[in-house]
Structure 1
Amino acid sequence: MNTSRNTLRDPRTQSNSTAAEMSPVIAHTPAGASAAPNAPWRDWLALGLLMFPVLLIAVDNTALTFALPAIALSLETTGVQLLWIVDAYPLVLAGLLVAMGSLGDRIGRRRLLIIGSIGFAVVSAATAFSPGPEWLIAGRGALGFFGAMLMPSTLSLIRNIFPDPNRRRLAVAIWAAGFSGGAALGPIFGGWLVEHFWWGAVLLVAVPIMVPLLAFGPAFIPESRDPAPGRVDVPSIVLSLLVMVPVVYGIKEIATQGIDAVPLGIIAFGVAMGMAFIRRQQRLASPLLDVSLFRNRVFSTAITANVLALFSFNGFILFLAQHLQLLEGMSPSAAGVAMIPALVATMASGLVVVPLVRKIRPGFVVAGGLAMSASGYCVVAFGNHSSGPALLLGALIILALGVGTAETISNDLILGSVPAEKSGAAAAISETGYEVGSLLGTAVLGSILTASYQHNLRLPAGLADVTSGTAVHSAAETLAAAMELAGTLPAPLADAVRAAAKTAFDSGVHITAAIALVLMAAAAVLAAVVLRKVPTAE
């Protein structure tokens, strides 16, 4: 964890600061980082201001889901348009994270954060009053553009505001807790806004949330940048888009439509562009992304831990949401409320684990978090799901405790294992890992769950005599369609369909959980072995 001490000197110990360096801006000299001796209260105030865009992004990601039915009715969208309203944002966001992180290193991370905040607020306000679905889709894409400026900037600024490893670790824990808290508030907040106002209020709320940052950020958040950034390579930006957009789109298609040649081909194209991107970065004197960062075993293993932590969490949420709503009969908002204790556990574990790394090596803490996630999946894989939601919700809390532990320390390892001037690129890679891990969890575990459900479903005989073949076919494809079909049938037959669908779905959950259990256990071993030599904090 102390690896950063070789690359970044605490600005409060600098004895050769000039009068110009006594400003609240972190200015880099040729020898390294140098900054004004900001009082600790200014650092924590700066962190508080950085939490506003973090909360906004987290709330926006989950709140919009509850506005989709109202959007569909108000704007008379087609199914394809509704899909693009959801997908436009993450596609653009994922494609530009690396480019924006590197741009922040070059032009200044605070400057990029302010530009992104202004753009996000203005576009949110304009999109809230969309006259049609095309306007809303374009607005969501623009929000992805400005959103890509926000998250890497916040994390990289934390790296430079808190050069001391112990204080930085707590700041990262607060950052992660804010993101988790926003995700918990999103469904409740979004549902309340749609119910009491209109769907545009979910987007319009970005304006007041950004006001504190825009009003006080320039005065209290110190600027930082790479002292020798080099020029911006436009072809590299284009290549990074051609890598991430096809890969993310292909994964989302597999998650929603199943494995098919088209999304696999799209992913293959993205991988090919990735190889071209890497070769170009290796040739450039000032690359958009310093791929040598991945040669650092601490950095690359911490990124892997982040990806797998989000993989496990989002994969779990995927089948838990279906179980609560379709098998337990909960409304979407009630299911969201039922998951809040687990999200609180994520926040709490991230904060509690900070002092733990003073006594236990960080690598073992990360490994312990991943092992806890594995134990949550173990409860699901070998437990009885028919006794109500308590077992699955309890397993989610165990999983959440593990994710909060692992991602807090792994994020700190990511920031601490790179030079301060590369923190923007490192933060962008970490954020990209979040996106990819979330998508993979949904796509991979979701595909396995769907395939297992379809293979194990045994619908009762005689359905073709009382309903259409299309309805029977749809019921054989998804649990939702089976439950919808059961609602149209007479009681004995309806009960038989529900029982068959529940049995098939539960068998799929057992298989999916067992696979995830093995992956999480392997990740825990990897973290323990590779990160075992990272020293404890002082």
Structure 2
Amino acid sequence: MTVNELLPGAGRRPWAGLAVLCLANLVIAVDIFVLMLAVPHIGTDLATSATETLWIFDIHGFMVGAFLITMGGLGDRIGRRRLFLIGSAAVGLASVVCAYAPNPEVLIAGRVLLGIAVATLPPCSLGLIRTMFPEPRRMGVAIGFWAGSFTVGAIVGPVLGGALLDQFWWGSVFLIAVPILLVVLVAGPASLPEHRNPDAARLDLTSAALSLATILPIIFGIKEVAHDGWGLTPVAALVVGLALGVVFVRRQRRVTNPLMDLSLFRNRAYSIGLGSLLTYAMLTGATLMFVTMHFQMVAGLSALESGLALVPGMALSTLSVTLAPVLARWVRPAYLIGAGLVVVVLGLFLVTRVEPTSGPAVLITSFAVWCVGSGFVLAMGISLVVGSVPVEKAASASSMPQISNEFGASLGIATLGVVGTLIYRAQVELPAAVPAEAAVAAGDSLVGALTVAGTLPPEVAGPLVGAAFQAFNSGLQTVATTAAIILAGLAVLVVVKLRHIPPLARQDAAPEPESTEDSGTGAGLAAAA
């Protein structure tokens, strides 16, 4: 029996259009996870420094986060199908640029273009789903399929990317998107309806530019301090970023249709829910980067084996995301988020037990455990954010979870990535026999140490690799410990501050009045679920 038979009335064209949207969403997920597996190969081939590696990772998320809302408004103006197809073509072209990048600078530039292009897809996709499936029941099913396609990409991406990395050069993982997007571009015009909003709000490109002008100098300053210490350039960058941040906040308070509605943060459920999602993405995103590098460079797994090592965790995360809304009918959302964070902390604690000689089993188990908890944090955190605001502001709030995820992961990689790098540089003890020029590269990162070791005699390479493994492992343990401590504190904060919000089954009962700013949260959560 087909979906159209189960839910009659929509016709075949909307479901065909939904399949096109799902393909594009799958590409986004694949891109995120294959890059983590490709980083050791990129570092070896392009001789990237530790700072360049972090930029390759995090610049994409900053671009997506900065342009997501703007692209939603642009789609309303020029047509959602048109922008979706333009964005899909741009993602394909940017992927080709990344695949054939001859140096780190071109790869970083390609990642910038890729992030801007990807920002067009989610808002246009959700807008088109609402147009194709106006009836709430079919819309809910369609959104479920669309969200599920991301999960499929998260599971398939590491496996497919790992298989390609074992057989071809690192750029091949970026080319996964190209044939899929060609199908999207061929099928999209016939299966997707066009939709414009003649009353769309004016695009606030100034705010989007200010958000980037705030965060990028701050991240640049942090990375430069880690690389060269305190100096005029990083201090100036930090000051400029903070000053522009003040300008950004003032503008959001002044304009009629702000990029970020600061008034929503007066709602405790909204602000703590969004903060939880941001903090979770920030801490676990950085830790996962170190975990995937450990799989290949320390545990000695192939790229394919590393991809397969992530699959159990991804599958368990899918199950917990599905289970969380069911439990939320009887269990308070604060307790579900708190319990989820405790499970994540347990998984991170297991990461701190990893040693260079532990083998991959400990990390595979650790990642699987924290993924069980992640489903509760993500599902209920999104419900809190979307369901705790007035209906007239739901559109503005609905984009914030994805923005917090993109910015959070990038911020985590930029900041905790720097912490891990500093730990490595401080603790790596290079053998005296390593030549001075080679010692510079070996002392910068694990990738540099392994590259240098390949040029040295075994009696020197062995001790060098052992020292590099130990230093990298110390960085991993420090990052995981930091993440676990902060998330444990966040669990307590969520339970204490949001425990008054009732389960969904009691949506008609008013929540205990801890703050008048939280009024309506229970009913909003029911609607969001």
Counterpart of 1:20 in structure 2 is: none
Q: CA deviation at 1:137?
A: 7.5
Between stretches 493-502 and 509-518, larger displacement belongs to 493-502
- Equivalent-residue separation in structure 2 for 1:46 and 1:182 (angstroms): 18
Evaluate the alpha carbon distance shift between residue 139 and residue 458 of structure 1 in structure 2; reply closer, same or farther with a 3 A threshold: closer
Query: Is the contact between residue 347 and residue 367 of structure 2 (CA under 8 Å) also seen in structure 1?
Result: yes
Counterpart of 1:204 in structure 2 is: 178
Evaluate the alpha carbon distance shift between residue 527 and residue 65 of structure 1 in structure 2; reply closer, same or farther with a 3 A threshold: closer
Three-state SS of the structure 2 residue aligned to 1:360 is coil
Counterpart of 2:509 in structure 1 is: none
Q: Which amino acid aligns with 1:377?
A: L
Per-residue CA distance 1:84-106 (angstroms, 9 max, x = gap): 887775454333123234556x6
Between stretches 129-138 and 413-422, larger displacement belongs to 129-138
Query: Is the contact between residue 88 and residue 140 of structure 1 (CA under 8 Å) also seen in structure 2?
Result: yes
Q: CA deviation at 1:404?
A: 2.2
Q: Does 1:483 align with 2:453?
A: no
Q: Does 1:532 align with 2:507?
A: no
Q: CA deviation at 1:186?
A: 2.7
Query: Is the contact between residue 58 and residue 411 of structure 2 (CA under 8 Å) also seen in structure 1?
Result: no
- Equivalent-residue separation in structure 2 for 1:213 and 1:255 (angstroms): 47
Three-state SS of the structure 1 residue aligned to 2:480 is helix
Q: Which amino acid aligns with 1:149?
A: T
Q: CA deviation at 1:156?
A: 6.9
Between stretches 117-126 and 64-73, larger displacement belongs to 64-73
Q: Does 1:346 align with 2:317?
A: yes
Between stretches 428-437 and 234-243, larger displacement belongs to 234-243
Q: Which amino acid aligns with 2:303?
A: P
Evaluate the alpha carbon distance shift between residue 451 and residue 60 of structure 1 in structure 2; reply closer, same or farther with a 3 A threshold: closer
Counterpart of 1:504 in structure 2 is: 471
- Equivalent-residue separation in structure 1 for 2:164 and 2:332 (angstroms): 45
Counterpart of 1:94 in structure 2 is: 65
Evaluate the alpha carbon distance shift between residue 433 and residue 178 of structure 1 in structure 2; reply closer, same or farther with a 3 A threshold: same
Per-residue CA distance 1:190-220 (angstroms, 9 max, x = gap): 465685898474342222145555543328x
Q: CA deviation at 1:518?
A: 0.6
Candidates 298, 314, 319, aligned match of 2:285? 314
Q: CA deviation at 1:292?
A: 0.8
1:215-364 counterparts in 2 under 5 A?
Answer: 215-218=190-193, 230-247=201-218, 253=223, 257=227, 261=231, 262=233, 265-364=236-335
Between stretches 303-312 and 253-262, larger displacement belongs to 253-262
Three-state SS of the structure 2 residue aligned to 1:286 is coil
Q: CA deviation at 1:520?
A: 0.8
Q: Which amino acid aligns with 2:193?
A: P
Counterpart of 2:440 in structure 1 is: 473
Q: CA deviation at 1:391?
A: 1.0
Query: Is the contact between residue 351 and residue 363 of structure 2 (CA under 8 Å) also seen in structure 1?
Result: yes
For this pair of structures, how many residues does the alignment match?
485
Q: CA deviation at 1:519?
A: 0.6
- Equivalent-residue separation in structure 2 for 1:280 and 1:213 (angstroms): 38
Q: CA deviation at 1:397?
A: 0.7
Counterpart of 2:512 in structure 1 is: none
Counterpart of 2:85 in structure 1 is: 118
Evaluate the alpha carbon distance shift between residue 233 and residue 512 of structure 1 in structure 2; reply closer, same or farther with a 3 A threshold: closer
- Equivalent-residue separation in structure 1 for 2:245 and 2:394 (angstroms): 22
Q: Which amino acid aligns with 1:518?
A: I
- CA-based RMSD of the aligned residues comes to 4.3
Between stretches 286-295 and 394-403, larger displacement belongs to 286-295
- Equivalent-residue separation in structure 1 for 2:37 and 2:351 (angstroms): 28
Q: CA deviation at 1:394?
A: 0.6
Q: Which amino acid aligns with 1:426?
A: A
- Equivalent-residue separation in structure 1 for 2:478 and 2:41 (angstroms): 36
Candidates 443, 449, 458, aligned match of 2:414? 443
Per-residue CA distance 1:42-75 (angstroms, 9 max, x = gap): 99888666433321212233446778999999xx
Query: Is the contact between residue 101 and residue 425 of structure 1 (CA under 8 Å) also seen in structure 2?
Result: no
Q: Which amino acid aligns with 1:522?
A: G
Per-residue CA distance 1:127-161 (angstroms, 9 max, x = gap): 57769879988775554333212224446777997
Three-state SS of the structure 2 residue aligned to 1:358 is coil
Three-state SS of the structure 1 residue aligned to 2:352 is helix
Three-state SS of the structure 2 residue aligned to 1:386 is coil
Q: CA deviation at 1:362?
A: 1.4
Q: CA deviation at 1:434?
A: 1.2
Evaluate the alpha carbon distance shift between residue 85 and residue 298 of structure 1 in structure 2; reply closer, same or farther with a 3 A threshold: closer
Counterpart of 1:433 in structure 2 is: 404
Per-residue CA distance 1:360-393 (angstroms, 9 max, x = gap): 1112111211111111111222455633111111
Candidates 475, 479, 482, aligned match of 1:515? 482
Query: Is the contact between residue 369 and residue 404 of structure 1 (CA under 8 Å) also seen in structure 2?
Result: yes
- Equivalent-residue separation in structure 2 for 1:480 and 1:79 (angstroms): 8
Q: Normalising by structure 2, what TM-score?
A: 0.76
Three-state SS of the structure 2 residue aligned to 1:529 is helix
Candidates 12, 16, 25, aligned match of 1:54? 25
- Equivalent-residue separation in structure 1 for 2:503 and 2:406 (angstroms): 29
Evaluate the alpha carbon distance shift between residue 85 and residue 471 of structure 1 in structure 2; reply closer, same or farther with a 3 A threshold: closer
Q: Does 1:411 align with 2:386?
A: no
Evaluate the alpha carbon distance shift between residue 311 and residue 136 of structure 1 in structure 2; reply closer, same or farther with a 3 A threshold: closer
Evaluate the alpha carbon distance shift between residue 101 and residue 121 of structure 1 in structure 2; reply closer, same or farther with a 3 A threshold: closer
Q: Does 1:179 align with 2:147?
A: no
Q: CA deviation at 1:301?
A: 1.3
Q: State the identity %.
A: 31
- Equivalent-residue separation in structure 1 for 2:185 and 2:398 (angstroms): 21
Per-residue CA distance 1:401-431 (angstroms, 9 max, x = gap): 2222211221222222234443443233222
Q: Normalising by structure 1, what TM-score?
A: 0.75
